[in-house]
Amino acid sequence: MTLTFSYEIGQVKVLNKYCNLQELIMRMENTYLRYFNDEYFAGFKNLKELRIFGMERIDAEWLKSLHNLELLELTGSIRNISVLETLPKLSKILFKRGKFRHLDELTLFNNLREVAFISNTPCHYDTNQIQLLSKFGSNLTTLKISKHIIGMVGAECISKLISLTNLEISFGGITESGARKLCKLTNLHSLTITYDTIEGGTSHLIDSLPHLTHLDLTRNYIFDNHIRNISKLKNLTSLILDVNRISSLDEISKLETLNCLKLSGNHIKDVKPLSGMKFLRILSLSGNYIMPNTKYGLSLGLASSNIGDEGAKHLASIPTLIELDLEEANLTEEGIALLSNIKTLKV
């Protein structure tokens, strides 16, 4: 059972009747902290997932009775974080938009499998704090960091977490040198590095991480030559390269296992190379200047692509097209009429 609600603190005791609740999402915008204590959670013995939003400060003492808790997501600062180590099943912790300076304590948690730091302060950790990233236990498989400048020092520390299978870094100050450090994470299956400048480091990542099934390098100033070896990723099923400088699909089209491809905001004109990608189910090309020779689809994102009525004729000939985004695609009533005849298209 899952319950989501917003409330005044005086109403929280009513929840104790939900003794079998397993997932709870609490929006606490109107909460008075001085009235809050551990008794409010005492009845949730079976709770597995807890998400608390809107509180500026949270005391981990309030949660000490949640012995079945597996996932904790918090917005705001936290006190007495060491109490969480006593929760035997807690393996996933996500901190968002708070003041967080407890990396030293968090790295002592032996059961952690997933940790996320998103938009916390300070956004610039000092070198000593960044170096603590390498201290996480061998059980950690997922690490997510967003809007924290960790730079090459952070990348080098993360590279020591050899058990990682999923790594997500956004606005992390990861440059080409930092990307080269991450090549040591040979167990990665999913890698996301967005809003950075890894550029030439892309080719090294591709060569060193053969097991990747998901790769997202949105907004990294990547050109065609940076991904010339991408066809080596034989297990890749999802590729996102939005807002880069890619103009050719020749190498990408060799990824026969892809079912999701997103290339919005690039310099692509010809999508003919995609015609042989039989497993592709999601394709987004918004913000490109697609020439009117589109011959493949199923789910197409072509907003701002200027395909015009001529391109609409080719889209109308795709027998399996089910989803289509053509906002600002330079269509007249004639082109719209052609597309309206596609029987498989969902409206």
Instruction: Report the CATH number that the domain containing residue 8 is assigned in CATH.
Output: 3.80.10.10
The answer to whether position 74 is within a domain reads: yes
Q: How far apart (Å, rounded) are the C-alpha atoms in residues 94 and 101?
A: 14
Please state, for a pLDDT cut of 90, what percent of the chain lies above it.
Answer: 34
Q: What is the pLDDT of residue 314?
A: 64
Q: How far apart (Å, rounded) are the C-alpha atoms in residues 105 and 192?
A: 26
Say how many domains are in the chain: 1
The answer to whether position 294 is within a domain reads: no
User: Do 245 and 223 touch, CB atoms closer than 8 A?
Assistant: yes
User: Do 327 and 306 touch, CB atoms closer than 8 A?
Assistant: no
Q: How far apart (Å, rounded) are the C-alpha atoms in residues 134 and 136?
A: 6
The answer to whether position 175 is within a domain reads: no
The answer to whether position 80 is within a domain reads: yes
Q: Give the number of C-alpha atoms closer than 13 A to the C-alpha of residue 226, restricted to the C-beta side.
A: 19
Q: How far apart (Å, rounded) are the C-alpha atoms in residues 287 and 49?
A: 39
For 111-139, what is the mean pLDDT? 81
The total of other beta-carbon atoms located within 10 Å of residue 130's CB is 22
The answer to whether position 54 is within a domain reads: yes
The answer to whether position 60 is within a domain reads: yes
User: Do 232 and 254 touch, CB atoms closer than 8 A?
Assistant: no
Read off the pLDDT band of 138 (50, 70, 90). Answer: confident
The answer to whether position 149 is within a domain reads: no
- Does residue 97 surpass a pLDDT of 80? no
Q: How far apart (Å, rounded) are the C-alpha atoms in residues 186 and 276?
A: 30
The pTM score is: 0.82
**Helix, strand, coil percentages for the chain (3-state, nearest 5):** 25, 20, 50
Q: What is the pLDDT of residue 166?
A: 98
Amino acid at 181: K
- Which carries the bigger pLDDT value, residue 344 or residue 148? 148
Q: What is the pLDDT of residue 69?
A: 95
Read off the pLDDT band of 23 (50, 70, 90). Answer: confident
The answer to whether position 14 is within a domain reads: yes
Q: How far apart (Å, rounded) are the C-alpha atoms in residues 288 and 307?
A: 9
Domain range for residue 66? 1-106
- Does residue 120 surpass a pLDDT of 80? no
Q: How far apart (Å, rounded) are the C-alpha atoms in residues 146 and 193?
A: 10
Stretch among 13-17, 87-91, 154-158, 186-190 having the lowest mean pLDDT: 13-17
Read off the pLDDT band of 297 (50, 70, 90). Answer: very low
- For the chain, give the mean pLDDT: 82
